[in-house]
Structure 1
Amino acid sequence: MKKPTIVMQSDFGIDSGLVACMHGMCRLVDSELETHDITHLIPAFDIEAASYCLQYTVPFWPDGTVFVSVVDPGVGTSRKASVAKLKNGSYVVTPDNGTLTYLKKRIGVEEIREINEEINRYPLTKDVHTFHGRDLFAYCAARLASGVISFEEVGPAYPVEEIVCHELKCAKISEGLVETEIKSYDPFGSAELTVENKEFQEAGFRIGDKVRMVLLDGEEQILDTVIPYEKSFGYVEKGEDVIFNDLASYVTIAANEAYFMKKYKLDPEKTYQVRLIKE
């Protein structure tokens, strides 16, 4: 029987041997284990970005996959090191610091256990407290995936209700009107909003509709224009704006073959309000 795959992400970057150490740790536990990466370019210390990335990645790996997510500003402190069993059968090995926020909402956590470091921490680096990605999370994930330990042997269970979660910003929705914010930008400069695809449709918006978009920076209006709600970028001319359903479950505004963020000189450190009105 094939052993579960281990899939990793972190904010370690790709210009050092840190990631290789995590892969190597898994092979030390079991040379047959298969390991893959999501990304190691999560912005440094950005726990919410790690959580957001997991929620659209996890559903597209087989049930039983063991995910390792290490964005851990509190490494070596009293924050819990955990393994969550998701309701789809996969596992996430991670600091319980908010990383599980989106997964808890989107997929659901069936059970969570705190890693027993007396058993499931690599013993040869016991005096190192700043590389739990290698010495604790990768090591424990490998023991779980290889069958050395069962989920119950990870450590003691604690209530799912105690999982640390960030507050998720929600959109205000009414018939033909959505008041939302720009949550983040994807690698192409498209603006990901805080309104979910399904919520947008519940407000009465349909593919092919024209949508009035008002973009605000506090009280200052930056943009007031009408753009189409379409399936994808190619339904508008190059450089033109379009609204579409994003792969991460949130409505997104983009400029076809252009960077929406740069086009309107938006500051990624600012929070912009967006009103979407059905024409």
Structure 2
Amino acid sequence: MPANRLVTLLSDFGLSDIYVGVMKGVITQINPTLTVIDLSHEIPPQNIAAGRFCLMSAYPYFPNGTVHIAVVDPGVGGNRRAVAIAFADAFLVCPDNGLFSGILCHTPVVAAIALTNREYWRTPTPSTTFHGRDIFASVGAHLASGVPFAELGQKIDPQTLVQLPIPECTFTDTGIIGCIQYVDRFGNLITNVPAHLVDGKNWFVKAAGLSIPGNKTYSDTADGSAIALVGSHGWVEIAVSNGNAQSQLQIKCGDAVQIGLH
């Protein structure tokens, strides 16, 4: 592994306040040579499920050794643990609240640590409202700069990491029942039905009283019409061509959808 690893940042902090910039300042104070990439800072406030989806979707596109710092942390200052997780090809530094559980569904954990070693915090007396600055950014920067993973704190059983309960899709005699797991900024409704379950089949989605045909691209239907397709993330989604499916269909995260197969 190189001494300097790539660092990514994901949060619900937005860009109108100083929080993201301050985290980058902490990282730069520790090692100004690190490359830092923003995944997103527009996760809806306190929406761990949305952060989970975005982190899971971005994870495969970064080189081995990347340190992902993710902060969607409504329990900041409370009893939830601050943790780091080592995989064979990357690291996560984040609150133990299920934010990383999408990655855990697909990637075995090599080791997990509670971040108890205050030597690598920005301060031994962190703010109770901004662990992104005082713990996660600092620890992530040290890890990316070559500090051994085991030195960051106390080893914990990966089985004790919090899992966010996202329903799995289920099968019926005529198709699949799933749900909406994420809504992107275009209003596209992304389900929990993976692409491989509809590949090579004729299929449609039943939602909001509509039967929405499965197609290939957003332009395969008239403007303002609903369409179902497999998005670049690898999940079945519902969209409206040149429109907003969430507002037009009045569907939200967690709502059930049915996939019909012929």
TM-score (norm 1): 0.86
Partners of 2:160 and 2:223 in 1: how far apart?
Answer: 48
2:229 alignment partner in structure 1: 244
2:252 alignment partner in structure 1: 268
User: Is the CA contact 1:84–1:113 (under 8 Å) kept in the aligned structure 2?
Assistant: yes
1:122 alignment partner in structure 2: 122
Q: C-alpha displacement at 1:100, in angstroms?
A: 1.5
User: Is the CA contact 2:212–2:226 (under 8 Å) kept in the aligned structure 1?
Assistant: no
1:219 alignment partner in structure 2: none
Partners of 1:251 and 1:127 in 2: how far apart?
Answer: 42
Q: C-alpha displacement at 1:178, in angstroms?
A: 1.3
Q: C-alpha displacement at 1:98, in angstroms?
A: 0.9
Q: C-alpha displacement at 1:31, in angstroms?
A: 1.5
Larger radius of gyration: 1
Q: C-alpha displacement at 1:199, in angstroms?
A: 2.9
Deviations 1:222-258 (A, max 9, x none): 423351x222212233333322112333210112111
Instruction: State the one-letter code of the partner of 1:247.
Output: S
2:53 alignment partner in structure 1: 52
Q: C-alpha displacement at 1:27, in angstroms?
A: 0.9
Partners of 2:86 and 2:48 in 1: how far apart?
Answer: 19
Instruction: Mark the CA change 1:30 to 1:273 in structure 2 (over 3 Å): closer, same or farther.
Output: closer
Deviations 1:167-206 (A, max 9, x none): 12111224651122223322111211121222334xxx52
User: Is the CA contact 1:82–1:94 (under 8 Å) kept in the aligned structure 2?
Assistant: yes
Partners of 1:75 and 1:110 in 2: how far apart?
Answer: 26
Q: C-alpha displacement at 1:65, in angstroms?
A: 0.6
TM-score (norm 2): 0.91
1:253 alignment partner in structure 2: 238
2:57 is equivalent to residue 94 of structure 1? no
Deviations 1:125-181 (A, max 9, x none): 72533211011100011111111x111111121111111001121112246511222
**What secondary structure, in the 3-state scheme, does the structure 2 residue paired with 1:59 have?**
helix
Instruction: Mark the CA change 1:214 to 1:84 in structure 2 (over 3 Å): closer, same or farther.
Output: same
1:104 alignment partner in structure 2: 104
User: Is the CA contact 1:178–1:200 (under 8 Å) kept in the aligned structure 2?
Assistant: no
Instruction: State the one-letter code of the partner of 1:167.
Output: P
Q: C-alpha displacement at 1:267, in angstroms?
A: 4.9
1:218 alignment partner in structure 2: none
Partners of 1:4 and 1:78 in 2: how far apart?
Answer: 30
Q: CA RMSD in A?
A: 2.0
List aligned pairs for 1:202-221, cutoff 5 A.
206=201, 209=202, 211=204, 213-215=205-207
2:19 alignment partner in structure 1: 18
Gaps of 5+ in 2: none
Deviations 1:198-225 (A, max 9, x none): 2334xxx52xx252x332xxxxxx4233
